Amino acid sequence: MFLTPNSVRHLQRIGLEPAVEKWGARVGRESRYFRHDGAPIAPVQVTDSSGWNATFGMHRADLVDMLANALPAGTVRTGHRCSSFEQDGNAARISFANGASAEADIVIAADGIHSELRPYVFPPSSPVFHGSVAYRGLVPHERVPHWPTDRWQMWLGQGRHFLTFPVRAGQLINYVGFVPTDEKMKESWSAPGDPECSQAGICGLGSAHSGAFKRS
């Protein structure tokens, strides 16, 4: 994932800038968009309006750990899948599949496209497949030592794009291959893909895919 100056500024305000510097991989002014043949198209903006460069590639697991570790012990509780919600004039209550329940003044639903709580505040709708699939993966930098760790790079083709940027202080290179497909795929960040050759026609790309969906 990518952190830009606005988000880093908020992390800075809560004392997490050192953790961002430690676990992130800052990308600089050599970040570029390219044509499929390698011809440069345009630079990527990596600074805010004042010229401050706080743009980082960040491994999602590192960001989650960084945020969780900054909270008091016991604040984050895993293994709880929300199953129902109710509220009255005094409190909001949520129940979980493991039999636990919780009561609070405010409940914030941040559980993604398959949210259990979204239907309580907005009419149900089905995702609409957008006709493209993203194959994602990580490569240890030591396996491609020539690859730069100070830039975000994206190659744009006819309906097919390829993106790379460093994460985990440059120890890993994140890549994403975007390809069109007529076959509807399961929307997922973790569904297994075929690393030898995908049905979309790209060989050797990644071990996971996610469909590009939008809400109807």
Instruction: List the catalytic residues.
Output: 136
Between CA 140 and CA 109 the distance in angstroms is: 34
What's the full length of the chain, in residues? 216
In three-state secondary structure terms, 123 is coil
Q: How far is CA 204 from the centre of its chain?
A: 22
In three-state secondary structure terms, 139 is strand
Radius of gyration of the chain (CA): 20
Q: Which residues pair with 129 in a beta bridge?
A: 213
- Find out whether 159 and 14 touch, Cβ atoms under 8 Å: no
